[in-house]
Amino acid sequence: MRSYARNIGSQASNETLRNDMISNDLNTLDTDTVLSYINTLKK
- Which region, left, alpha or beta, applies to residue 26 given φ > 0 means left and ψ of -120 to 50 means alpha? beta
* pLDDT score for 28: 67
Note down pLDDT in tens along the chain; length 43 residues.
777 777 777 888 878 878 887 777 656 667 788 788 888 988 8
* pLDDT score for 11: 84
What residues contact residue 11 under an 8 Å CB cut-off, 6+ apart? none
CA–CA distance, 33 with 5 (Å, rounded to integer):
17
Domain ranges in the chain are 2-42
pTM beyond 0.85: no
* pLDDT score for 37: 81
* pLDDT score for 3: 76
